[in-house]
Protein backbone atom coordinates (compact mmCIF):
# COMPACT_ATOMS: atom_id res chain seq x y z
CA UNK A 1 0.00 0.00 0.00
CA UNK A 2 1.31 3.45 -0.94
CA UNK A 3 1.15 5.74 2.08
CA UNK A 4 2.54 8.82 0.37
CA UNK A 5 5.26 10.24 -1.87
CA UNK A 6 8.35 11.45 -0.07
CA UNK A 7 9.67 13.53 -2.97
CA UNK A 8 13.17 13.97 -4.38
CA UNK A 9 15.90 15.96 -2.63
CA UNK A 10 17.94 15.93 -5.85
CA UNK A 11 15.65 18.47 -7.52
CA UNK A 12 16.31 22.19 -7.39
CA UNK A 13 13.13 24.29 -7.52
CA UNK A 14 13.33 27.68 -9.18
CA UNK A 15 10.19 29.73 -8.53
CA UNK A 16 9.49 32.64 -10.83
CA UNK A 17 7.05 35.28 -9.58
CA UNK A 18 5.78 36.05 -13.06
CA UNK A 19 3.16 38.50 -11.81
CA UNK A 20 1.78 40.16 -8.69
CA UNK A 21 -1.66 40.42 -10.29
CA UNK A 22 -4.68 38.19 -9.74
CA UNK A 23 -8.23 38.26 -11.06
CA UNK A 24 -9.72 36.82 -7.85
CA UNK A 25 -9.82 37.93 -4.22
CA UNK A 26 -10.05 34.72 -2.18
CA UNK A 27 -11.15 35.09 1.43
CA UNK A 28 -8.01 33.42 2.81
CA UNK A 29 -5.48 35.00 0.44
CA UNK A 30 -2.19 35.85 2.15
CA UNK A 31 -0.88 37.94 -0.77
CA UNK A 32 -1.92 41.28 0.65
CA UNK A 33 0.18 43.42 -1.70
CA UNK A 34 -1.08 42.36 -5.13
CA UNK A 35 -0.70 44.81 -8.01
CA UNK A 36 -0.45 44.87 -11.80
CA UNK A 37 3.24 44.07 -12.06
CA UNK A 38 4.88 41.46 -14.30
CA UNK A 39 8.22 39.75 -14.88
CA UNK A 40 9.76 40.12 -18.34
CA UNK A 41 10.38 37.04 -20.48
CA UNK A 42 14.04 37.97 -20.96
CA UNK A 43 14.59 38.14 -17.19
CA UNK A 44 12.88 34.76 -16.70
CA UNK A 45 15.19 33.14 -19.26
CA UNK A 46 18.26 34.76 -17.71
CA UNK A 47 17.34 33.39 -14.28
CA UNK A 48 16.68 29.89 -15.63
CA UNK A 49 20.05 29.79 -17.40
CA UNK A 50 21.74 30.80 -14.15
CA UNK A 51 19.84 28.19 -12.12
CA UNK A 52 20.55 25.47 -14.71
CA UNK A 53 24.25 26.29 -14.52
CA UNK A 54 24.06 26.06 -10.72
CA UNK A 55 22.45 22.59 -10.95
CA UNK A 56 25.00 21.35 -13.50
CA UNK A 57 27.87 22.30 -11.19
CA UNK A 58 26.19 21.09 -7.99
CA UNK A 59 26.90 17.93 -6.03
CA UNK A 60 23.45 18.26 -4.44
CA UNK A 61 21.10 18.57 -7.42
CA UNK A 62 20.54 16.60 -10.62
CA UNK A 63 17.47 18.27 -12.10
CA UNK A 64 15.60 21.57 -12.22
CA UNK A 65 11.94 22.40 -11.64
CA UNK A 66 10.70 25.77 -12.85
CA UNK A 67 7.53 26.94 -11.04
CA UNK A 68 5.51 29.82 -12.45
CA UNK A 69 4.01 31.71 -9.54
CA UNK A 70 1.67 34.65 -8.95
CA UNK A 71 -0.74 36.21 -8.21
CA UNK A 72 -2.45 34.16 -10.85
CA UNK A 73 0.36 32.98 -13.16
CA UNK A 74 -1.88 32.87 -16.22
CA UNK A 75 -2.17 36.64 -15.99
CA UNK A 76 1.26 36.41 -17.68
CA UNK A 77 0.64 33.49 -20.04
CA UNK A 78 2.81 34.97 -22.83
CA UNK A 79 5.86 34.53 -20.57
CA UNK A 80 4.89 30.95 -19.69
CA UNK A 81 4.37 30.04 -23.34
CA UNK A 82 7.62 31.63 -24.46
CA UNK A 83 9.72 30.06 -21.69
CA UNK A 84 8.38 26.51 -22.14
CA UNK A 85 8.84 26.58 -25.92
CA UNK A 86 12.34 28.02 -25.44
CA UNK A 87 13.28 25.25 -23.00
CA UNK A 88 11.99 22.63 -25.44
CA UNK A 89 14.68 23.78 -27.88
CA UNK A 90 17.31 22.23 -25.58
CA UNK A 91 18.83 25.45 -24.27
CA UNK A 92 19.82 23.93 -20.90
CA UNK A 93 21.73 20.70 -20.32
CA UNK A 94 20.08 19.46 -17.10
CA UNK A 95 16.75 17.56 -16.87
CA UNK A 96 13.87 19.98 -16.29
CA UNK A 97 10.12 20.22 -15.77
CA UNK A 98 7.80 23.22 -15.53
CA UNK A 99 4.91 23.51 -13.09
CA UNK A 100 2.22 26.00 -12.10
CA UNK A 101 -0.88 26.13 -9.94
CA UNK A 102 -3.84 28.08 -11.29
CA UNK A 103 -7.33 29.10 -10.25
CA UNK A 104 -8.41 27.86 -13.68
CA UNK A 105 -10.52 30.87 -14.60
CA UNK A 106 -8.32 32.21 -17.42
CA UNK A 107 -7.87 29.03 -19.46
CA UNK A 108 -9.31 29.77 -22.90
CA UNK A 109 -9.76 27.06 -25.52
CA UNK A 110 -6.56 28.27 -27.19
CA UNK A 111 -4.56 28.06 -23.95
CA UNK A 112 -5.96 24.61 -23.18
CA UNK A 113 -4.97 23.40 -26.65
CA UNK A 114 -1.43 24.67 -26.04
CA UNK A 115 -1.30 23.01 -22.63
CA UNK A 116 -2.34 19.66 -24.11
CA UNK A 117 0.43 19.95 -26.67
CA UNK A 118 3.07 20.62 -23.99
CA UNK A 119 1.68 18.46 -21.15
CA UNK A 120 4.79 16.28 -20.91
CA UNK A 121 6.99 19.26 -20.05
CA UNK A 122 4.53 21.47 -18.20
CA UNK A 123 2.38 20.18 -15.35
CA UNK A 124 -0.57 22.27 -14.22
CA UNK A 125 -2.39 21.96 -10.92
CA UNK A 126 -5.71 23.56 -10.00
CA UNK A 127 -6.94 25.16 -6.79
CA UNK A 128 -10.55 24.24 -6.10
CA UNK A 129 -12.33 24.22 -2.75
CA UNK A 130 -15.07 21.57 -2.85
CA UNK A 131 -18.67 21.89 -3.90
CA UNK A 132 -19.84 24.78 -6.10
CA UNK A 133 -21.12 26.53 -2.96
CA UNK A 134 -17.81 26.07 -1.12
CA UNK A 135 -15.88 27.37 -4.12
CA UNK A 136 -18.17 30.39 -4.30
CA UNK A 137 -17.81 31.08 -0.57
CA UNK A 138 -14.01 30.98 -0.62
CA UNK A 139 -13.10 32.19 -4.07
CA UNK A 140 -16.07 34.00 -5.62
CA UNK A 141 -15.83 32.33 -9.01
CA UNK A 142 -19.55 32.33 -9.84
CA UNK A 143 -19.10 34.30 -13.06
CA UNK A 144 -16.47 31.90 -14.40
CA UNK A 145 -16.92 28.54 -16.08
CA UNK A 146 -14.27 26.20 -14.68
CA UNK A 147 -13.35 23.12 -16.71
CA UNK A 148 -12.12 20.78 -13.98
CA UNK A 149 -12.43 17.79 -16.31
CA UNK A 150 -9.62 19.29 -18.37
CA UNK A 151 -7.19 18.92 -15.47
CA UNK A 152 -8.23 15.33 -14.78
CA UNK A 153 -7.95 14.35 -18.45
CA UNK A 154 -4.57 15.94 -19.10
CA UNK A 155 -2.78 15.39 -15.75
CA UNK A 156 -4.64 12.45 -14.21
CA UNK A 157 -2.29 11.99 -11.25
CA UNK A 158 -2.26 15.66 -10.24
CA UNK A 159 -4.64 16.37 -7.32
CA UNK A 160 -6.88 19.38 -6.96
CA UNK A 161 -5.77 21.53 -4.05
CA UNK A 162 -8.49 22.46 -1.56
CA UNK A 163 -8.01 25.19 1.02
CA UNK A 164 -10.17 24.60 4.10
CA UNK A 165 -11.55 27.86 5.44
CA UNK A 166 -13.48 28.44 8.65
CA UNK A 167 -16.62 28.94 6.55
CA UNK A 168 -16.28 25.72 4.53
CA UNK A 169 -15.02 23.47 7.34
CA UNK A 170 -18.55 22.20 8.23
CA UNK A 171 -18.91 20.73 4.71
CA UNK A 172 -15.33 19.51 4.28
CA UNK A 173 -16.26 15.83 3.85
CA UNK A 174 -19.06 16.66 1.43
CA UNK A 175 -16.71 18.76 -0.67
CA UNK A 176 -13.92 16.19 -0.80
CA UNK A 177 -16.25 13.30 -1.62
CA UNK A 178 -18.01 15.39 -4.26
CA UNK A 179 -14.74 16.05 -6.07
CA UNK A 180 -13.66 12.43 -5.72
CA UNK A 181 -17.01 11.24 -7.09
CA UNK A 182 -16.20 13.28 -10.19
CA UNK A 183 -12.92 11.41 -10.56
CA UNK A 184 -10.51 13.91 -9.05
CA UNK A 185 -7.71 13.31 -6.58
CA UNK A 186 -7.80 15.84 -3.75
CA UNK A 187 -5.28 17.26 -1.30
CA UNK A 188 -6.31 19.70 1.39
CA UNK A 189 -4.81 22.20 3.76
CA UNK A 190 -6.10 24.50 6.48
CA UNK A 191 -6.17 28.21 5.74
CA UNK A 192 -3.47 30.20 7.53
CA UNK A 193 -4.00 33.27 9.68
CA UNK A 194 -7.39 31.97 10.87
CA UNK A 195 -8.64 32.05 14.45
CA UNK A 196 -9.17 28.29 14.77
CA UNK A 197 -10.99 27.35 17.99
CA UNK A 198 -11.80 24.25 20.05
CA UNK A 199 -15.18 24.14 18.31
CA UNK A 200 -13.44 24.14 14.94
CA UNK A 201 -11.14 21.31 16.06
CA UNK A 202 -14.13 19.21 17.11
CA UNK A 203 -15.78 19.96 13.76
CA UNK A 204 -12.57 19.02 11.92
CA UNK A 205 -12.42 15.73 13.82
CA UNK A 206 -16.05 15.03 12.89
CA UNK A 207 -15.51 15.81 9.21
CA UNK A 208 -12.31 13.75 9.00
CA UNK A 209 -14.10 10.84 10.69
CA UNK A 210 -16.78 10.96 8.00
CA UNK A 211 -14.03 10.76 5.38
CA UNK A 212 -12.30 7.97 7.31
CA UNK A 213 -15.43 5.85 7.28
CA UNK A 214 -16.00 6.57 3.58
CA UNK A 215 -12.47 5.43 2.70
CA UNK A 216 -12.78 2.30 4.79
CA UNK A 217 -15.99 1.49 2.93
CA UNK A 218 -14.60 2.26 -0.54
CA UNK A 219 -10.91 1.42 -0.75
CA UNK A 220 -10.73 2.58 -4.37
CA UNK A 221 -10.81 6.19 -3.19
CA UNK A 222 -7.50 7.89 -2.47
CA UNK A 223 -7.56 9.14 1.13
CA UNK A 224 -7.27 12.85 1.79
CA UNK A 225 -3.61 13.62 2.50
CA UNK A 226 -4.27 14.51 6.15
CA UNK A 227 -5.39 10.95 6.86
CA UNK A 228 -2.41 9.19 5.32
CA UNK A 229 0.65 11.14 6.35
CA UNK A 230 3.38 8.59 6.86
CA UNK A 231 5.31 10.82 9.23
CA UNK A 232 2.65 10.43 11.90
CA UNK A 233 3.94 7.06 13.02
CA UNK A 234 7.42 8.18 13.98
CA UNK A 235 8.81 9.35 17.28
CA UNK A 236 5.69 9.50 19.44
CA UNK A 237 6.39 10.55 22.08
CA UNK A 238 9.22 12.77 20.85
CA UNK A 239 12.68 11.90 22.11
CA UNK A 240 15.00 14.48 20.52
CA UNK A 241 15.03 18.26 20.51
CA UNK A 242 15.31 18.86 16.76
CA UNK A 243 12.15 20.15 15.13
CA UNK A 244 11.59 19.00 11.57
CA UNK A 245 11.75 21.47 8.71
CA UNK A 246 8.88 20.78 6.34
CA UNK A 247 10.13 22.38 3.14
CA UNK A 248 13.23 23.24 1.16
CA UNK A 249 12.95 26.99 1.68
CA UNK A 250 16.27 28.70 1.03
CA UNK A 251 18.09 25.40 0.39
CA UNK A 252 16.32 23.25 -2.19
CA UNK A 253 14.38 26.16 -3.67
CA UNK A 254 14.81 29.79 -4.58
CA UNK A 255 12.22 32.34 -5.62
CA UNK A 256 12.90 35.22 -7.98
CA UNK A 257 10.57 38.20 -7.89
CA UNK A 258 9.47 40.22 -10.92
CA UNK A 259 12.63 42.35 -10.63
CA UNK A 260 14.98 39.35 -10.31
CA UNK A 261 15.67 39.68 -6.58
CA UNK A 262 16.10 36.33 -4.82
CA UNK A 263 14.05 35.06 -1.86
CA UNK A 264 13.91 31.80 0.11
CA UNK A 265 10.41 31.07 -1.23
CA UNK A 266 7.44 33.06 -2.53
CA UNK A 267 6.20 33.66 1.03
CA UNK A 268 9.06 36.10 1.61
CA UNK A 269 8.48 38.20 -1.52
CA UNK A 270 6.96 41.70 -1.70
CA UNK A 271 3.56 40.47 -2.92
CA UNK A 272 3.18 38.74 0.46
CA UNK A 273 5.19 40.94 2.82
CA UNK A 274 5.35 44.32 1.08
CA UNK A 275 8.22 46.42 2.43
CA UNK A 276 9.05 43.67 4.95
CA UNK A 277 10.12 41.23 2.20
CA UNK A 278 13.08 39.12 3.32
CA UNK A 279 15.89 38.51 0.81
CA UNK A 280 17.29 35.00 0.77
CA UNK A 281 20.86 35.86 1.73
CA UNK A 282 19.71 37.59 4.93
CA UNK A 283 18.57 34.31 6.55
CA UNK A 284 20.50 31.28 7.84
CA UNK A 285 17.96 28.74 6.59
CA UNK A 286 19.63 25.69 8.16
CA UNK A 287 20.13 27.12 11.63
CA UNK A 288 18.27 25.66 14.61
CA UNK A 289 16.86 29.11 15.27
CA UNK A 290 15.04 28.98 11.91
CA UNK A 291 13.08 25.82 12.83
CA UNK A 292 12.83 25.49 16.61
CA UNK A 293 9.95 27.04 18.54
CA UNK A 294 10.72 26.64 22.24
CA UNK A 295 6.99 26.50 23.00
CA UNK A 296 6.75 23.27 20.99
CA UNK A 297 9.96 21.52 22.04
CA UNK A 298 8.24 18.93 24.27
CA UNK A 299 5.13 18.42 22.12
CA UNK A 300 4.75 14.86 20.87
CA UNK A 301 3.28 16.17 17.62
CA UNK A 302 5.87 18.82 16.83
CA UNK A 303 7.29 16.89 13.86
CA UNK A 304 3.84 15.96 12.57
CA UNK A 305 2.59 19.53 12.81
CA UNK A 306 3.17 21.38 9.52
CA UNK A 307 4.83 24.73 9.96
CA UNK A 308 5.62 27.28 7.25
CA UNK A 309 8.53 29.67 7.88
CA UNK A 310 6.88 32.20 5.61
CA UNK A 311 3.54 32.25 7.39
CA UNK A 312 5.35 32.29 10.71
CA UNK A 313 7.27 35.38 9.64
CA UNK A 314 4.27 37.13 8.09
CA UNK A 315 1.89 36.69 11.01
CA UNK A 316 4.26 36.41 14.00
CA UNK A 317 7.45 38.14 12.94
CA UNK A 318 9.78 35.13 13.28
CA UNK A 319 10.27 32.19 10.91
CA UNK A 320 10.25 29.63 13.74
CA UNK A 321 7.26 30.82 15.77
CA UNK A 322 4.28 28.60 15.00
CA UNK A 323 0.58 29.45 15.06
CA UNK A 324 -0.69 27.97 18.34
CA UNK A 325 -4.27 28.20 17.07
CA UNK A 326 -3.37 25.21 14.88
CA UNK A 327 -2.55 22.96 17.84
CA UNK A 328 -5.99 21.47 18.39
CA UNK A 329 -6.61 21.20 14.65
CA UNK A 330 -3.42 19.19 14.25
CA UNK A 331 -4.36 17.00 17.22
CA UNK A 332 -7.75 16.28 15.64
CA UNK A 333 -6.08 15.34 12.37
CA UNK A 334 -3.43 13.17 14.02
CA UNK A 335 -5.86 11.15 16.12
CA UNK A 336 -8.16 10.52 13.16
CA UNK A 337 -5.24 9.64 10.89
CA UNK A 338 -4.02 7.04 13.39
CA UNK A 339 -7.51 5.55 13.65
CA UNK A 340 -7.81 5.38 9.88
CA UNK A 341 -4.44 3.76 9.32
CA UNK A 342 -4.98 1.16 12.07
CA UNK A 343 -8.52 0.31 10.91
CA UNK A 344 -7.57 0.11 7.25
CA UNK A 345 -4.64 -2.21 7.86
CA UNK A 346 -6.69 -4.34 10.26
CA UNK A 347 -9.27 -4.86 7.51
CA UNK A 348 -6.72 -6.07 4.93
CA UNK A 349 -6.86 -9.77 4.04
CA UNK A 350 -3.15 -10.09 3.50
CA UNK A 351 -0.39 -7.93 4.95
CA UNK A 352 3.15 -7.55 3.69
CA UNK A 353 5.91 -6.77 6.15
CA UNK A 354 5.78 -3.03 5.48
CA UNK A 355 2.04 -2.85 6.14
CA UNK A 356 2.37 -4.87 9.33
CA UNK A 357 5.11 -2.59 10.64
CA UNK A 358 3.14 0.48 9.66
CA UNK A 359 0.02 -0.79 11.40
CA UNK A 360 1.92 -1.55 14.59
CA UNK A 361 3.57 1.88 14.60
CA UNK A 362 0.26 3.64 13.93
CA UNK A 363 -1.34 1.72 16.78
CA UNK A 364 1.45 2.72 19.15
CA UNK A 365 1.06 6.35 18.09
CA UNK A 366 -2.68 6.16 18.64
CA UNK A 367 -2.16 4.77 22.14
CA UNK A 368 -0.17 7.92 22.92
CA UNK A 369 -2.62 10.34 21.31
CA UNK A 370 -5.91 8.86 22.54
CA UNK A 371 -5.21 10.18 26.04
CA UNK A 372 -5.27 13.75 24.73
CA UNK A 373 -8.79 15.16 24.91
CA UNK A 374 -9.37 17.95 22.37
CA UNK A 375 -11.84 19.73 24.64
CA UNK A 376 -9.40 19.74 27.56
CA UNK A 377 -5.99 19.80 25.89
CA UNK A 378 -3.67 22.73 25.83
CA UNK A 379 -0.49 22.70 23.77
CA UNK A 380 2.20 21.56 23.82
CA UNK A 381 1.02 17.96 24.15
CA UNK A 382 3.29 16.14 26.54
CA UNK A 383 2.83 12.73 28.10
Give me the residue spans of the domains in the chain. 11-195, 196-247+285-383
Pairwise CA distance, residues 24 & 44, whole Å: 24
Q: How far, in Å, CA of 41 to CA of 68, rounded?
A: 12
**3-state SS of the chain: helix, strand, coil percent to 5?**
40, 10, 45
- What is the reported pLDDT for 196? 96
Residues 6 and 191: their CA atoms lie apart, in Å, by 23
- pLDDT of res. 53: 98
Residue 2 is predicted with a pLDDT of: 35
Q: What distance lies between CA 129 and its chain's CA centroid?
A: 14
C-alpha–C-alpha distance, residues 361 and 342, integer Å: 9
CA distance 237 to 240: 10
Q: Taking CA 250 as the corner, what is the angle to CA 247 and CA 252, rounded to the nearest 5 degrees?
A: 60
The yes-or-no verdict on residue 3 having pLDDT over 60 is no
pLDDT single digits (tens) 268-326: 999 999 999 999 999 988 776 777 888 888 888 887 888 899 999 999 999 999 999 99
**Distance between CA 255 and CA 261 in Å, rounded?**
8
* Alpha carbon distance, N-terminus to C-terminus of the chain: 31
**pLDDT, position 58:** 95
Residue 65's closest CA among 125, 3, 153, 138?
125
- Residue range 202-217: average pLDDT? 97
Q: Residue 167 — pLDDT band, cuts 50, 70, 90?
A: very high
Q: Class assignment of domain 11-195?
A: alpha beta
Burial 201-224 (b: 16+ CB within 10 A, else e): bebbbebbbebbebbbeeeebebb
The 3-state DSSP class for residue 29 equals: coil
CB 175 within 8 A of CB 134: yes
Amino acid sequence: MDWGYEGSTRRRTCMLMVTHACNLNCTYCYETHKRNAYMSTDLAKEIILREAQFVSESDTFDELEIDFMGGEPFMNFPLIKSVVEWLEQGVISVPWICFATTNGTLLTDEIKAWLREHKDNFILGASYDGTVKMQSTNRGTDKYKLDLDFFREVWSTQPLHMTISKETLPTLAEGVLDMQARGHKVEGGLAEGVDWTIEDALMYREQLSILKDAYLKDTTLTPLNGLSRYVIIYDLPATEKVQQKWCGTGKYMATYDIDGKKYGCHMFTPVVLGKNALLSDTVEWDSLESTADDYCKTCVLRNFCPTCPGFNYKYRGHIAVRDKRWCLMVLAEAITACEFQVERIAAMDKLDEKDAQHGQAALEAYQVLRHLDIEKSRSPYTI
